[in-house]
Amino acid sequence: MRCFFNLADGHSSLFDPEGVEVADMEELRAEVSKAIEEMRHAEPAAARNWNGWRMEVTDPAGVALLTVNLDRTQAQVGLHPMHYVERTSRIR
């Protein structure tokens, strides 16, 4: 299933135009972790100010599959554990 990693903070949204193919929730979680690490490394200063931002993973119809509160992940690996809120069991 193709999943899209959109970013939102309550005021603004950034939509993922490409998405990524995943086979199951385990692979989706791994891809989410990878995407967050890539964002941290690309802009470390911006990553320190993720308060209020979340990554909303959706299917092609826009149905939310998973939400990650980015302010809980913060800028350093291990500072806070990754907290996922699964919205559906559509991917098994």
- Burial grade of 58 (CB within 10 A; 0-12, 13-18, 19 or more): buried
Residue 27 is part of which domain span? 2-86
Domains: count for the chain: 1
Assess if residue 92 is contained within a domain: no
Identify the helix (H) or strand (E) that includes residue 84.
strand 84-86
47-63 pLDDT, tens digit each = 778 888 999 999 999 99
7-25 pLDDT, tens digit each = 999 899 999 999 999 999 8
Q: Which residues contact 91 (CB under 8 A, 6 or more apart)?
A: 1, 3, 22, 24, 25, 28, 65
Assess if residue 91 is contained within a domain: no
CA dist 25 and 39 (Å) reads 21
Given a cut of 50, is residue 75 above it in pLDDT? no
Question: pTM of the full predicted structure?
Answer: 0.76
**Average pLDDT for residues 19-39, to the nearest whole number?**
93
